[in-house]
Amino acid sequence: MTTAGFAVSTIFHYEHLKHLYRTWEDALFVLFSLDGTEHTTKIKNHLHRSGVRYCHVKELCEKNIHLDVLYSVYWMPSFIVLGPEVMHVRVMYGYAKDEWNYGSWNRNYDLIFTYGPYAEEKLCDATPCISAGHPRLPIRTSHYAWRSGRKKLLYCPTYGERSSLPEFDAIVPQLTNDYEITVKLHHLTDIAFCPNLSEFQRAERIRVLDESHDLFDLIPDSDLVISDHSGAIFDAMLHERKILLIDPKPMKERIAQELNSDEGSLDIKIRTLLPHCEAERLPEAISDALAAPIGYKAVLPKLFSGMGTEVPQNIRRHTADRLQRFDRKNRQTALLHRFHRFVSADRRKLVICGAGEFGQSILCLLKSQQQETAFYVDSDASKQETGVNGIPVISPDQLAHLTPAGHKCLIATVGGGPFYERKLRQFGFEKDIDYICLFQQE
C-alpha cells in the first residue's frame, strides 16, 4: 500500500492539504517545525482535534517510517532526511509574491500541481507540472457566525513590508460603527503593536482570528474582502467575492512601477482588475467597492483549473500514476550521495552549522545512521546556554578554535549559509573537503 506524507510547519498547511489527505487510505501529516516549541505544540493540538494521523519528522527518522510520496506547499531543506526514494510533490498554496512563488527551489520537486495555467506557465521549465486546480475545490465550508446585520468586512493582511496592518490599525476607528469587521491574521503576524485593533478586540467590537481559523469558513458570507498583497486575494476571487486592496506605503513606488510595465508580481498586476487605494481612503473606497459589480470573472479560468471537479481526487489519481513511473531516485539523490560520502569519508568530528529546524532534522538523520555529532554552531544565545537535543551549541566566533584536521562541518541553514561559508573559509576550511552545504545540488 502506498504511504502518503503531508508536510506541515503551520496550521495553515494542514487546512490547505486536509481534503487531499482524506483521499489516501494510508496517510499522515509530518511536522517539520521545531519540536518542543509552543508553536509545534499548537500544531499538534490542532491535528489531534482534527482526528488525523501525525508525527514529527524526528519520530519518522527514529522509527524508520517509510513514505512513498511527500506532499508539501513549499520546499524545506529538511526534506533531505527522508532519503532518495520519496517522490516530492508540491501542491501550490497561493498566488501572490511571484518572485518567491516561482523561485529556483521549485526544481527540487519531482512533480508540481498548480492552481491553473498562469502558474503552470511560470513553473513548467523547472519541473513537470499539472494544472489541477485549487486543492479545496469543490468548496466545502461551514459558515462563519457573523454577529450583526451590518455589512461584513473581512480583512486579510499579509506580513512584512507588504502588509497594510499598521495603516489599517490607524484607520479602523472610522469603520467600526458602520461595519462588522473580522481580521484574519497571517500566521507570521499579531496585533501586539496595533493599539486600536487590540483595544477594539478587548471591547469585542471586532474579531481578530489567528491561523487556527479556516479562511474558507470566513470568506463565503463576507460582503467585502479587504487585503493588500496576500494570497487571500485569490481565495476571495475563487469564491467570487467583492474585493478591495490596500496599497501599503512601503509598496507605493513598486506598485506604480509594475502597474506600468509588462512584468510584475500577480498580487500587484491584479490591481488592474480590482479596486485599490491607500489606507486613508478606505471609508469612501469601501462604499464604492460594495456598490460596484465584480469585474474579474473573465480571468478566473486562467488562474484556476478544475472548477466544478473534485480536485483532491484528481491530484491523488495523477500522483498514483506518476508513482508507477517514478524510479525511486528523487531530485535530492545526488545531494544525499554527496552527504553520505562526506560523512563517512573519515573520522573527523562532525559539526552542524545551524541549530534550527533544518539542523535538528540533520541530527536525526545522523543518529539514524549511528553517526555522532560533536556540537552545533548557532548565533542564538539561548541555544548556546542550554544546548539543543542534548548537543552543545557554540557561537560562530568559536569556529576559530576548530581545525580542518579535527573537524568537518555540515551547513544546515539556508539564510545563514553564506555567513557560515565565509567564516569557515576564513578559518581555513575548504568547501566539499572540510564542509558542505546541505541545501545545494551538484
pLDDT in tens, 348-367: 999 999 998 889 888 888 88
Fold match flag (4-137+307-325 vs 333-437): yes
Q: Which residues pair with 351 in a beta bridge?
A: 375, 409
- pLDDT, one tens digit per residue, over 274-317 is 999 999 999 999 999 999 999 999 999 999 999 989 999 999 99
What are the DSSP E strand ranges found in 185-279?
207-209, 224-227, 243-246, 276-277
Q: Which residues pair with 388 in a beta bridge?
A: 391
User: Residue 35: its pLDDT value, please?
Assistant: 83
Q: Which residues pair with 69 in a beta bridge?
A: 4, 87
C-alpha 172/C-alpha 162 separation (Å) is 18
Mean pLDDT for 174-178 is 96
pLDDT at 144 over 80: no
Q: Which fold has domain 4-137+307-325?
A: Rossmann fold (3.40.50)
* Sequence ranges of the domains in the chain: 4-137+307-325, 151-296, 333-437
Q: What's the CATH superfamily of 151-296?
A: Glycogen Phosphorylase B; (3.40.50.2000)
User: Residue 440: its pLDDT value, please?
Assistant: 56
Confidence at 441, pLDDT banded by 50, 70, 90:
very low
CB 17 within 8 A of CB 6: yes
- pLDDT, one tens digit per residue, over 210-247 is 988 999 999 998 999 999 999 999 999 999 999 999 99
CA distances from 223 to 13, 149, 218, 271 (A): 26, 11, 11, 19
Residue predicted with more confidence, 142 or 158: 158
Query: In the chain, pLDDT over 90 holds for what percent of residues?
Result: 74
Residue predicted with more confidence, 142 or 45: 45
- The helix/strand count (H/E) of the chain reads as 18, 18
Residue predicted with more confidence, 52 or 334: 52
Average pLDDT of the residues of the chain: 92
User: Residue 308: its pLDDT value, please?
Assistant: 87
Secondary structure of residue 308 in the 3-state scheme: coil
pLDDT at 49 over 70: yes
pLDDT at 386 over 60: yes
- pLDDT, one tens digit per residue, over 80-130 is 889 899 999 999 998 988 988 998 889 999 999 999 999 999 999 989 999
User: Residue 442: its pLDDT value, please?
Assistant: 38
Confidence at 141, pLDDT banded by 50, 70, 90:
low
Q: Which fold has domain 333-437?
A: Rossmann fold (3.40.50)
